[in-house]
């Protein structure tokens, strides 16, 4: 029997609730499809920070390196630890250290979920660059607190980084409906975004079967509301992809449905799977968080681990539940009820 070694980082708030829920579903999938999940849980979180002064131990990255995948809940508890500290101490360093450059976020309406738009159906795959761009971390502050204070934060776009994320997007488009939309803001940002557009055109020549559109981020924001059905694969920089995927989550019915995979495509390092939503302190531990985003992310993880059949079954089980109205709106069902319904559908 194949055994997959998973590092679990439930993190903060509802991260704990949804990882718990998702693991019960993934374990059922393992029983049905004949693979095992060996897990080790790491308590790295804001609570851990308050006790140890760091979000994870100094050898945290090395510890994670030995796992087949990382399953993360959510990070952040701004009442006690500033987000700029907690995220730069855990989530963002993992993405960078393991070169998880492709952040894959699917946006579509699950059966039974209505969403806020009139659009009847859409199926968008957002490919977000995940290691550089606006999240490069390059910058600094001088004269703090004085009248002449300066803060600089530099976006970094490398040929390596831009080429590989676009190539990844082209490959995804090729496996889907063969349409790619590259999102920039090259009318205003004349160096980095013009460069991105150029690389898109260069690579497009090698994918004659994929049609390519170029859109500015502002126009894309409108398009995702007005005509999301026209979109297939979207490729965007780190910050643009971040913003568009919260919009994507909104049009698919809310953050409770938005899954995400941080993929390290060459497989030299573990990839990380996490729902798009945050820790939601206001509803943490109350058995009301929607676990679907985490369970869907878990399905992405199974797929990445080579358990494609199990991944498809988990996704089908989610949709069997939502088609029956389970978990389709906040407050309708508890975390446990949604999880139980999905497990039952998986085991049926
Ligand atoms: C996300 C989150 C993170 C990001 C935050 C928490 C740093 O919003 O995964 O979308 O901006 O990448
Ligand atoms: Mn985000």
Question: Does residue 96 sit in the same domain as residue 128?
Answer: no
Is residue 198 situated within a structural domain?
A: yes
- Say whether 91 sits in a helix, a strand or coil: helix
Question: Can you give the pLDDT at residue 338?
Answer: 98
Question: Does residue 82 sit in the same domain as residue 179?
Answer: no
Is residue 157 situated within a structural domain?
A: yes
pLDDT tens track for 258-297 = 999 999 999 999 999 999 999 999 999 999 999 999 999 9
Question: Can you give the pLDDT at residue 264?
Answer: 98
CA atoms of 51 and 94, how far apart (whole Å) = 21
Please indicate whether residue 276, judged by its CB atom, sits closer than 6 Å to ligand 1: yes
Q: Which ligand is nearest to the CA of 260?
A: 1
For 202, what's the count of Cα atoms within 13 Å in the CB-facing half-sphere? 12
Is residue 110 situated within a structural domain?
A: no
Other beta carbons less than 10 A from residue 142's beta carbon: 10
Question: Does residue 129 sit in the same domain as residue 80?
Answer: no
Four-residue CA torsion sign, 20, 268, 177, 159: positive
Q: Which ligand is nearest to the CA of 261?
A: 1
Please indicate whether residue 242, judged by its CB atom, sits closer than 6 Å to ligand 1: yes
Question: Can you give the pLDDT at residue 119?
Answer: 81
Question: Can you give the pLDDT at residue 118?
Answer: 87
Atom in ligand 1 nearest the alpha carbon of residue 76:
6
CATH number at residue 166: 3.40.718.10
Please indicate whether residue 87, judged by its CB atom, sits closer than 6 Å to ligand 1: yes
> Looking at 251, 283, 303, which one is the last position of a domain?
251
Question: Can you give the pLDDT at residue 172?
Answer: 98
Q: Number of structural domains, the chain?
A: 2
> Looking at 217, 251, 285, which one is the last position of a domain?
251
Please identify every stretch of the chain with a pLDDT value under 50, giving residue numbers as ranges: none
CA atoms of 246 and 129, how far apart (whole Å) = 15
Question: Does residue 297 sit in the same domain as residue 242?
Answer: no
Please indicate whether residue 316, judged by its CB atom, sits closer than 6 Å to ligand 1: no
Provide the domain limits for residue 132: 116-251
State in Å: Cα 270 to ligand 1 middle.
Answer: 19
Catalytic site positions:
135, 185, 218, 242, 246
Question: Does residue 47 sit in the same domain as residue 167?
Answer: no
Is residue 341 situated within a structural domain?
A: yes
Is residue 25 situated within a structural domain?
A: yes
Question: Can you give the pLDDT at residue 159?
Answer: 98
CA atoms of 175 and 212, how far apart (whole Å) = 15
Question: Does residue 85 sit in the same domain as residue 133?
Answer: no
Helix ranges (DSSP H) in the chain: 14-33, 46-52, 60-65, 83-89, 91-97, 159-174, 192-204, 217-226, 238-251, 292-304, 308-323, 335-347
Nearest Cα residue to atom 3 of ligand 1 = 242
State in Å: Cα 46 to ligand 1 middle.
Answer: 16
Question: Does residue 126 sit in the same domain as residue 235?
Answer: yes
Is residue 335 situated within a structural domain?
A: yes
Please indicate whether residue 99, judged by its CB atom, sits closer than 6 Å to ligand 1: no
Question: Can you give the pLDDT at residue 335?
Answer: 98
Question: Can you give the pLDDT at residue 347?
Answer: 95
CA atoms of 160 and 175, how far apart (whole Å) = 23
> Looking at 225, 251, 277, which one is the last position of a domain?
251
* 309, 108 Cβ separation under 8 angstroms: no
Atom in ligand 1 nearest the alpha carbon of residue 91:
7
Question: Does residue 13 sit in the same domain as residue 69?
Answer: yes
Question: Can you give the pLDDT at residue 109?
Answer: 97
Question: Does residue 126 sit in the same domain as residue 246?
Answer: yes
Q: Which among 38, 42, 82 has a CA at the least distance from the CA of 59?
A: 42
Question: Does residue 130 sit in the same domain as residue 203?
Answer: yes
Other beta carbons less than 10 A from residue 282's beta carbon: 8
Nearest Cα residue to atom 11 of ligand 1 = 242
Is residue 215 situated within a structural domain?
A: yes
Question: Does residue 145 sit in the same domain as residue 224?
Answer: yes
Is residue 264 situated within a structural domain?
A: no
Question: Does residue 287 sit in the same domain as residue 216?
Answer: no
């Amino acid at each position: 029997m194949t055994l997959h070694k998973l590092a679990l980082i439930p993190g903060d708030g509802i991260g704990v609730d949804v990882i718990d829920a998702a693991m019960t579903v993934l374990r059922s999938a393992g029983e049905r499809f004949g693979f095992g999940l060996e897990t080790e849980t790491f308590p790295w979180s804001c609570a851990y920070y308050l006790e140890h002064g760091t979000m994870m131990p100094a050898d945290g990255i090395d510890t994670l390196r030995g796992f087949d995948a990382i399953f993360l809940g959510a990070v952040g508890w701004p009442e006690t630890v500033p987000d700029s500290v907690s995220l730069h101490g855990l989530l963002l360093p993992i993405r960078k250290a393991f070169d998880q450059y492709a952040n894959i976020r699917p946006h579509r309406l699950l059966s039974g979920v209505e969403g806020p738009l009139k659009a009847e159906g859409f199926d968008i795959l957002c490919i977000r660059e995940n290691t550089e761009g606006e999240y490069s971390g390059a910058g600094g502050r001088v004269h703090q607190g004085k009248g002449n204070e300066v803060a600089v934060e530099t976006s970094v776009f490398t040929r390596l980084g831009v080429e590989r994320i676009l190539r990844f997007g082209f490959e995804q488009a090729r496996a889907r409906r063969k349409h790619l939309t590259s999102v920039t803001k090259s009318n205003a940002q004349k160096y980095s975004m013009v460069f991105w557009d150029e690389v898109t055109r260069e690579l497009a020549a090698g994918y004659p079967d994929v049609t390519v559109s170029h859109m500015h981020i502002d126009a894309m924001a409108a398009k995702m509301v007005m005509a999301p059905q026209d979109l297939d694969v979207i490729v965007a920089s780190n910050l643009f992809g971040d913003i568009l995927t919260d919009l994507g989550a909104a049009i698919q019915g809310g953050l409770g449905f938005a899954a995400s995979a941080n993929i390290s495509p060459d497989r030299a390092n573990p990839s990380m799977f996490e729902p798009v939503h945050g820790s939601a302190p206001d509803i943490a531990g109350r058995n009301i968080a929607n676990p679907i985003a985490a369970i869907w992310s878990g399905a992405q993880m199974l797929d990445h681990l080579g358990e494609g059949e199990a991944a498809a079954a988990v996704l089908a089980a989610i949709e069997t539940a939502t088609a029956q109205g389970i978990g389709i709106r906040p407050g309708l069902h508890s975390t446990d009820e949604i999880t139980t319904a999905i497990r039952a559908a998986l085991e049926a």
